[in-house]
Amino acid sequence: MMTADRNPSIPISSGGVLTIDLNSLKRNWHLLASKVGPAATGAVVKANAYGLGIETVVPALLSIGCQHFFVAHLSEAERVRALSATAEIFVLNGFLPGNGRIYRDLNLTPVLGSLAEIHHWKNFFGDHNDAPSAALHIDTGLNRLGISPSEAVTISQANLDGTLGFSLCLLMSHFVESEIDGSATTKRQIEAFDHLRRMFPDIPASLCNSSGIFLCTESYYNLVRPGYALYGGHPLWSSHDNPMEPVIRLEVPIVQTRHIGVGEHVGYGSLWSASRPTRLATLSIGYADGLPRGAESSQTKKGGDVLIGGTRCAMLGRVSMDLLIVDATDAPDEALKPGSYATIIGDELTIDAVGDSAGTIGYDILVSLGTRYQRRVIG
Protein backbone atom coordinates (compact mmCIF):
# COMPACT_ATOMS: atom_id res chain seq x y z
CA MET A 1 0.00 0.00 0.00
CA MET A 2 1.25 3.48 -0.85
CA THR A 3 2.35 5.37 2.25
CA ALA A 4 3.32 8.96 2.85
CA ASP A 5 7.02 9.61 2.39
CA ARG A 6 7.15 13.31 1.60
CA ASN A 7 10.24 15.23 2.58
CA PRO A 8 8.85 17.92 4.94
CA SER A 9 11.89 20.13 4.27
CA ILE A 10 10.85 20.64 0.65
CA PRO A 11 8.69 23.79 0.37
CA ILE A 12 5.25 23.28 -1.10
CA SER A 13 3.81 26.31 -2.88
CA SER A 14 0.59 24.63 -4.00
CA GLY A 15 -2.50 23.64 -2.08
CA GLY A 16 -1.49 20.03 -1.61
CA VAL A 17 0.55 17.09 -2.84
CA LEU A 18 -0.92 14.50 -5.20
CA THR A 19 1.35 11.46 -5.31
CA ILE A 20 1.00 9.15 -8.32
CA ASP A 21 2.63 5.73 -7.97
CA LEU A 22 3.41 4.38 -11.42
CA ASN A 23 4.69 1.09 -10.00
CA SER A 24 1.21 0.41 -8.63
CA LEU A 25 -0.31 1.38 -11.98
CA LYS A 26 1.99 -1.08 -13.76
CA ARG A 27 1.24 -3.88 -11.30
CA ASN A 28 -2.49 -3.27 -11.78
CA TRP A 29 -2.10 -3.59 -15.55
CA HIS A 30 -0.02 -6.77 -15.17
CA LEU A 31 -2.66 -8.28 -12.85
CA LEU A 32 -5.40 -7.65 -15.42
CA ALA A 33 -3.24 -8.90 -18.31
CA SER A 34 -2.45 -12.11 -16.40
CA LYS A 35 -6.16 -12.84 -16.05
CA VAL A 36 -7.21 -12.38 -19.67
CA GLY A 37 -4.41 -13.89 -21.75
CA PRO A 38 -4.15 -14.72 -24.58
CA ALA A 39 -6.47 -11.74 -25.14
CA ALA A 40 -4.64 -8.42 -25.34
CA THR A 41 -4.99 -5.89 -22.53
CA GLY A 42 -5.45 -2.27 -23.53
CA ALA A 43 -5.97 0.82 -21.40
CA VAL A 44 -8.66 3.49 -21.30
CA VAL A 45 -6.88 6.83 -20.89
CA LYS A 46 -9.74 9.22 -21.65
CA ALA A 47 -10.42 12.19 -19.35
CA ASN A 48 -6.68 12.87 -19.14
CA ALA A 49 -6.02 9.29 -18.02
CA TYR A 50 -8.77 9.53 -15.40
CA GLY A 51 -7.25 12.72 -14.01
CA LEU A 52 -3.71 11.39 -13.57
CA GLY A 53 -2.33 12.83 -16.82
CA ILE A 54 -1.96 11.24 -20.25
CA GLU A 55 1.71 12.25 -20.42
CA THR A 56 2.30 10.58 -17.05
CA VAL A 57 0.32 7.38 -17.50
CA VAL A 58 0.78 6.41 -21.15
CA PRO A 59 4.61 6.17 -21.14
CA ALA A 60 4.45 3.95 -18.04
CA LEU A 61 1.98 1.60 -19.74
CA LEU A 62 3.96 1.60 -22.98
CA SER A 63 7.05 0.56 -21.04
CA ILE A 64 5.37 -2.68 -19.93
CA GLY A 65 3.90 -3.63 -23.28
CA CYS A 66 0.48 -1.97 -23.50
CA GLN A 67 -0.18 -1.15 -27.17
CA HIS A 68 -3.93 -0.40 -27.32
CA PHE A 69 -5.31 2.85 -25.93
CA PHE A 70 -8.88 4.16 -25.82
CA VAL A 71 -9.68 7.88 -25.61
CA ALA A 72 -12.89 9.88 -25.87
CA HIS A 73 -11.80 12.82 -28.00
CA LEU A 74 -9.56 13.41 -30.96
CA SER A 75 -7.48 15.91 -28.96
CA GLU A 76 -6.68 13.14 -26.45
CA ALA A 77 -5.71 10.81 -29.30
CA GLU A 78 -3.26 13.41 -30.60
CA ARG A 79 -1.57 13.54 -27.19
CA VAL A 80 -1.25 9.76 -27.02
CA ARG A 81 0.14 9.60 -30.55
CA ALA A 82 2.82 12.14 -29.60
CA LEU A 83 4.02 9.57 -27.06
CA SER A 84 4.01 6.53 -29.34
CA ALA A 85 4.34 6.12 -33.08
CA THR A 86 3.13 2.51 -33.04
CA ALA A 87 0.34 2.19 -30.47
CA GLU A 88 -3.21 1.56 -31.71
CA ILE A 89 -5.41 4.43 -30.57
CA PHE A 90 -9.21 4.19 -30.64
CA VAL A 91 -11.33 7.35 -30.49
CA LEU A 92 -14.57 6.38 -28.76
CA ASN A 93 -16.81 9.41 -29.19
CA GLY A 94 -17.58 8.95 -32.86
CA PHE A 95 -16.33 10.36 -36.13
CA LEU A 96 -17.19 13.90 -37.17
CA PRO A 97 -17.00 14.97 -40.84
CA GLY A 98 -14.01 17.16 -41.56
CA ASN A 99 -11.68 15.34 -39.17
CA GLY A 100 -10.72 12.54 -41.52
CA ARG A 101 -7.29 13.92 -42.40
CA ILE A 102 -6.24 13.95 -38.73
CA TYR A 103 -7.22 10.29 -38.37
CA ARG A 104 -5.31 9.44 -41.53
CA ASP A 105 -2.21 11.51 -40.83
CA LEU A 106 -1.87 10.24 -37.24
CA ASN A 107 -3.11 6.70 -37.96
CA LEU A 108 -5.94 6.91 -35.44
CA THR A 109 -8.82 4.43 -35.35
CA PRO A 110 -12.33 5.92 -35.38
CA VAL A 111 -14.98 4.02 -33.44
CA LEU A 112 -18.06 4.27 -35.64
CA GLY A 113 -21.36 4.14 -33.80
CA SER A 114 -24.02 5.33 -36.22
CA LEU A 115 -25.02 4.85 -39.85
CA ALA A 116 -24.18 8.51 -40.48
CA GLU A 117 -20.65 8.04 -39.14
CA ILE A 118 -20.23 4.91 -41.27
CA HIS A 119 -21.39 6.86 -44.31
CA HIS A 120 -18.98 9.74 -43.64
CA TRP A 121 -16.03 7.41 -43.04
CA LYS A 122 -16.84 5.46 -46.19
CA ASN A 123 -16.80 8.68 -48.23
CA PHE A 124 -13.53 9.78 -46.70
CA PHE A 125 -11.96 6.36 -47.14
CA GLY A 126 -13.05 6.33 -50.77
CA ASP A 127 -10.92 9.41 -51.40
CA HIS A 128 -8.09 8.38 -49.09
CA ASN A 129 -7.63 4.63 -49.19
CA ASP A 130 -4.50 4.94 -47.06
CA ALA A 131 -6.71 5.84 -44.09
CA PRO A 132 -6.72 3.37 -41.17
CA SER A 133 -9.30 0.69 -40.53
CA ALA A 134 -12.26 1.52 -38.29
CA ALA A 135 -13.84 -0.04 -35.23
CA LEU A 136 -17.58 -0.72 -35.17
CA HIS A 137 -19.58 -0.06 -32.01
CA ILE A 138 -22.82 -2.01 -31.66
CA ASP A 139 -25.26 -1.09 -28.90
CA THR A 140 -26.46 -4.06 -26.85
CA GLY A 141 -28.54 -2.23 -24.25
CA LEU A 142 -26.90 0.97 -23.03
CA ASN A 143 -28.72 3.11 -25.61
CA ARG A 144 -25.98 5.70 -25.69
CA LEU A 145 -23.67 5.16 -28.67
CA GLY A 146 -23.53 2.38 -31.24
CA ILE A 147 -25.56 1.09 -34.14
CA SER A 148 -28.57 -1.08 -33.32
CA PRO A 149 -28.45 -4.87 -33.73
CA SER A 150 -30.82 -4.58 -36.70
CA GLU A 151 -28.54 -2.02 -38.36
CA ALA A 152 -25.62 -4.36 -37.68
CA VAL A 153 -27.24 -6.96 -39.96
CA THR A 154 -27.05 -4.51 -42.87
CA ILE A 155 -23.46 -3.52 -42.08
CA SER A 156 -22.48 -7.17 -41.76
CA GLN A 157 -23.83 -7.94 -45.21
CA ALA A 158 -21.99 -4.95 -46.69
CA ASN A 159 -18.79 -6.11 -45.00
CA LEU A 160 -19.19 -9.64 -46.36
CA ASP A 161 -20.01 -8.63 -49.94
CA GLY A 162 -17.29 -5.95 -50.10
CA THR A 163 -19.55 -2.92 -50.39
CA LEU A 164 -18.87 -1.47 -46.93
CA GLY A 165 -16.13 0.66 -48.46
CA PHE A 166 -13.49 0.27 -45.74
CA SER A 167 -12.06 -2.43 -43.51
CA LEU A 168 -13.00 -3.16 -39.90
CA CYS A 169 -10.36 -3.87 -37.27
CA LEU A 170 -12.55 -4.26 -34.16
CA LEU A 171 -16.12 -5.03 -33.14
CA MET A 172 -17.12 -3.71 -29.73
CA SER A 173 -19.98 -3.03 -27.34
CA HIS A 174 -20.33 -1.52 -23.86
CA PHE A 175 -21.66 -3.12 -20.68
CA VAL A 176 -24.51 -1.59 -18.68
CA GLU A 177 -23.81 -3.05 -15.21
CA SER A 178 -20.92 -5.49 -15.39
CA GLU A 179 -19.92 -4.67 -11.79
CA ILE A 180 -23.00 -6.57 -10.54
CA ASP A 181 -22.24 -10.25 -10.05
CA GLY A 182 -24.85 -12.43 -11.75
CA SER A 183 -26.55 -9.55 -13.57
CA ALA A 184 -29.27 -10.75 -15.96
CA THR A 185 -28.70 -7.61 -18.05
CA THR A 186 -25.03 -8.45 -18.50
CA LYS A 187 -25.91 -12.03 -19.44
CA ARG A 188 -28.32 -10.76 -22.12
CA GLN A 189 -25.67 -8.39 -23.47
CA ILE A 190 -23.09 -11.15 -23.75
CA GLU A 191 -25.56 -13.38 -25.57
CA ALA A 192 -26.46 -10.56 -27.96
CA PHE A 193 -22.82 -9.73 -28.61
CA ASP A 194 -21.96 -13.38 -29.25
CA HIS A 195 -24.75 -13.53 -31.82
CA LEU A 196 -23.62 -10.32 -33.51
CA ARG A 197 -20.00 -11.46 -33.55
CA ARG A 198 -20.89 -14.39 -35.74
CA MET A 199 -22.08 -11.93 -38.38
CA PHE A 200 -18.55 -10.47 -38.58
CA PRO A 201 -16.26 -13.48 -39.00
CA ASP A 202 -12.54 -12.88 -38.49
CA ILE A 203 -13.07 -9.39 -37.02
CA PRO A 204 -11.43 -9.08 -33.55
CA ALA A 205 -13.88 -8.30 -30.73
CA SER A 206 -13.83 -6.37 -27.47
CA LEU A 207 -16.43 -6.22 -24.70
CA CYS A 208 -14.88 -6.35 -21.22
CA ASN A 209 -14.19 -3.29 -19.11
CA SER A 210 -12.58 -3.37 -15.65
CA SER A 211 -15.51 -5.11 -13.96
CA GLY A 212 -16.06 -7.50 -16.85
CA ILE A 213 -12.52 -8.80 -16.51
CA PHE A 214 -13.43 -10.16 -13.07
CA LEU A 215 -17.06 -11.17 -13.55
CA CYS A 216 -17.40 -12.00 -17.26
CA THR A 217 -14.50 -14.38 -17.75
CA GLU A 218 -16.12 -16.05 -20.76
CA SER A 219 -16.12 -12.76 -22.68
CA TYR A 220 -12.51 -11.65 -23.00
CA TYR A 221 -12.53 -12.17 -26.78
CA ASN A 222 -9.49 -10.55 -28.42
CA LEU A 223 -9.02 -7.34 -26.43
CA VAL A 224 -10.10 -6.02 -23.04
CA ARG A 225 -10.20 -2.32 -22.21
CA PRO A 226 -9.82 -1.61 -18.48
CA GLY A 227 -9.95 1.92 -17.16
CA TYR A 228 -10.99 2.54 -13.55
CA ALA A 229 -9.25 -0.55 -12.13
CA LEU A 230 -5.91 0.52 -13.59
CA TYR A 231 -5.99 3.64 -11.41
CA GLY A 232 -6.83 1.74 -8.21
CA GLY A 233 -10.62 1.93 -8.41
CA HIS A 234 -12.71 -0.95 -7.12
CA PRO A 235 -13.91 -2.89 -10.18
CA LEU A 236 -16.59 -4.75 -8.20
CA TRP A 237 -19.26 -3.88 -5.71
CA SER A 238 -18.02 -3.20 -2.19
CA SER A 239 -18.96 -6.66 -0.93
CA HIS A 240 -15.74 -7.84 -2.58
CA ASP A 241 -12.22 -6.92 -1.52
CA ASN A 242 -10.59 -4.56 -3.99
CA PRO A 243 -8.00 -6.58 -5.93
CA MET A 244 -6.29 -3.45 -7.26
CA GLU A 245 -3.51 -1.41 -5.66
CA PRO A 246 -4.10 2.28 -4.86
CA VAL A 247 -2.31 4.50 -7.33
CA ILE A 248 -2.82 7.96 -5.85
CA ARG A 249 -2.44 9.64 -2.49
CA LEU A 250 -3.65 13.18 -1.79
CA GLU A 251 -2.38 15.19 1.17
CA VAL A 252 -3.05 18.84 1.96
CA PRO A 253 -1.54 21.20 4.54
CA ILE A 254 -3.27 22.32 7.69
CA VAL A 255 -3.50 26.11 7.45
CA GLN A 256 -4.50 26.78 11.05
CA THR A 257 -6.30 25.40 14.10
CA ARG A 258 -8.65 27.00 16.61
CA HIS A 259 -11.01 26.07 19.44
CA ILE A 260 -14.72 26.80 19.56
CA GLY A 261 -17.31 26.33 22.29
CA VAL A 262 -20.60 24.49 22.42
CA GLY A 263 -23.18 25.98 20.08
CA GLU A 264 -20.76 27.88 17.84
CA HIS A 265 -21.33 27.53 14.10
CA VAL A 266 -18.89 26.53 11.38
CA GLY A 267 -18.63 27.56 7.72
CA TYR A 268 -20.92 29.20 5.18
CA GLY A 269 -24.59 28.92 5.96
CA SER A 270 -23.90 27.78 9.54
CA LEU A 271 -24.88 24.21 8.62
CA TRP A 272 -23.00 22.68 11.53
CA SER A 273 -22.68 23.71 15.17
CA ALA A 274 -20.56 22.25 17.96
CA SER A 275 -22.16 19.96 20.52
CA ARG A 276 -18.91 19.83 22.52
CA PRO A 277 -15.83 22.02 22.88
CA THR A 278 -14.19 21.42 19.50
CA ARG A 279 -10.75 21.92 18.00
CA LEU A 280 -11.05 22.90 14.34
CA ALA A 281 -8.44 22.49 11.63
CA THR A 282 -8.72 24.44 8.40
CA LEU A 283 -7.22 22.62 5.41
CA SER A 284 -5.97 24.00 2.10
CA ILE A 285 -8.44 22.25 -0.22
CA GLY A 286 -11.85 23.08 -1.60
CA TYR A 287 -14.20 22.45 -4.48
CA ALA A 288 -11.84 24.34 -6.80
CA ASP A 289 -9.45 21.43 -6.18
CA GLY A 290 -12.01 18.78 -7.05
CA LEU A 291 -13.35 18.02 -3.57
CA PRO A 292 -17.12 17.61 -4.14
CA ARG A 293 -19.45 19.94 -2.28
CA GLY A 294 -21.49 16.81 -1.58
CA ALA A 295 -18.91 15.94 1.10
CA GLU A 296 -20.38 18.70 3.31
CA SER A 297 -21.94 17.90 6.68
CA SER A 298 -24.73 19.43 8.73
CA GLN A 299 -26.56 18.71 11.96
CA THR A 300 -28.53 15.99 10.16
CA LYS A 301 -26.08 14.79 7.48
CA LYS A 302 -22.76 12.99 7.88
CA GLY A 303 -20.19 14.19 5.39
CA GLY A 304 -16.72 13.02 4.47
CA ASP A 305 -13.66 12.40 6.61
CA VAL A 306 -9.95 13.13 6.43
CA LEU A 307 -7.06 11.51 8.27
CA ILE A 308 -4.84 13.55 10.60
CA GLY A 309 -2.16 11.57 12.36
CA GLY A 310 -4.02 8.41 11.43
CA THR A 311 -7.20 9.65 13.15
CA ARG A 312 -10.45 10.10 11.24
CA CYS A 313 -11.58 13.71 11.41
CA ALA A 314 -15.02 14.68 10.13
CA MET A 315 -15.51 17.40 7.54
CA LEU A 316 -17.66 20.16 9.02
CA GLY A 317 -20.19 22.36 7.26
CA ARG A 318 -19.86 23.39 3.65
CA VAL A 319 -16.86 22.78 1.42
CA SER A 320 -15.53 26.21 0.41
CA MET A 321 -13.80 27.03 -2.87
CA ASP A 322 -10.30 26.85 -1.39
CA LEU A 323 -10.69 25.67 2.20
CA LEU A 324 -12.16 22.87 4.29
CA ILE A 325 -12.88 22.81 8.01
CA VAL A 326 -12.60 19.53 9.94
CA ASP A 327 -13.10 18.38 13.53
CA ALA A 328 -9.55 17.73 14.79
CA THR A 329 -10.51 17.37 18.45
CA ASP A 330 -9.38 13.74 18.64
CA ALA A 331 -6.30 14.09 16.43
CA PRO A 332 -2.91 13.86 18.17
CA ASP A 333 -1.31 17.20 19.03
CA GLU A 334 1.91 16.38 17.19
CA ALA A 335 -0.07 15.91 13.94
CA LEU A 336 -1.41 19.46 14.14
CA LYS A 337 1.85 21.37 14.25
CA PRO A 338 2.64 23.99 11.56
CA GLY A 339 3.55 22.22 8.33
CA SER A 340 1.47 19.15 9.17
CA TYR A 341 -0.61 17.47 6.49
CA ALA A 342 -4.01 15.83 6.38
CA THR A 343 -4.74 12.88 4.13
CA ILE A 344 -7.71 13.33 1.81
CA ILE A 345 -7.17 10.17 -0.26
CA GLY A 346 -5.00 7.38 1.08
CA ASP A 347 -4.94 4.43 3.48
CA GLU A 348 -8.54 3.62 4.47
CA LEU A 349 -9.82 6.65 2.56
CA THR A 350 -9.85 5.06 -0.88
CA ILE A 351 -11.16 6.88 -3.92
CA ASP A 352 -14.32 4.76 -3.66
CA ALA A 353 -14.78 5.62 0.02
CA VAL A 354 -14.25 9.32 -0.65
CA GLY A 355 -16.74 9.23 -3.49
CA ASP A 356 -19.32 7.40 -1.41
CA SER A 357 -19.07 9.87 1.45
CA ALA A 358 -19.66 12.73 -0.99
CA GLY A 359 -22.69 11.08 -2.58
CA THR A 360 -20.86 10.34 -5.81
CA ILE A 361 -18.50 7.69 -7.22
CA GLY A 362 -14.75 7.17 -7.24
CA TYR A 363 -14.63 7.89 -10.98
CA ASP A 364 -15.88 11.41 -10.24
CA ILE A 365 -13.20 11.89 -7.58
CA LEU A 366 -10.43 10.82 -9.97
CA VAL A 367 -11.41 12.87 -13.01
CA SER A 368 -12.04 15.96 -10.86
CA LEU A 369 -8.53 16.07 -9.38
CA GLY A 370 -7.60 19.73 -9.50
CA THR A 371 -4.71 21.44 -11.25
CA ARG A 372 -3.46 23.26 -8.15
CA TYR A 373 -1.79 20.28 -6.51
CA GLN A 374 1.92 19.62 -6.72
CA ARG A 375 1.97 16.36 -8.66
CA ARG A 376 4.63 14.04 -7.39
CA VAL A 377 5.26 11.00 -9.59
CA ILE A 378 7.08 8.01 -8.11
CA GLY A 379 8.10 4.73 -9.74
- Which tens digits make up the pLDDT trace of 25-61? 999 999 999 999 999 999 999 999 999 999 999 999 9
271 with 167, same domain: the answer is: no
pLDDT digits (tens, 9 = 90+) for 122-142: 999 999 989 999 999 999 999
Mean residue pLDDT of the chain comes to 95
CATH number at residue 89: 3.20.20.10
Q: Is the peptide bond before 38 cis (omega within 30 degrees of 0)?
A: yes
Q: How many CA atoms lie within 13 A of 155 on its CB side?
A: 30
194 with 49, same domain: the answer is: yes
Contact by Cβ (8 Å): 92, 43: no
210 with 268, same domain: the answer is: no
197 with 308, same domain: the answer is: no
Number of domains in the chain: 2
Look at residue 13 and tell me if it is in a domain: no
CA distance 215 to 292: 30
Contact by Cβ (8 Å): 200, 221: no
Out of 167, 199, 231, pick the residue that ends a domain: 231
Residue 283 domain boundaries: 248-378
CA distance 287 to 187: 39
176 with 60, same domain: the answer is: yes
Look at residue 11 and tell me if it is in a domain: no
Q: What's the pTM?
A: 0.94
Residue positions annotated with a catalytic role: 46, 268
Out of 231, 258, 280, pick the residue that ends a domain: 231
130 with 267, same domain: the answer is: no
182 with 129, same domain: the answer is: yes
CA distances from 128 to 100, 104, 277 (A): 9, 8, 74
CATH number at residue 254: 2.40.37.10
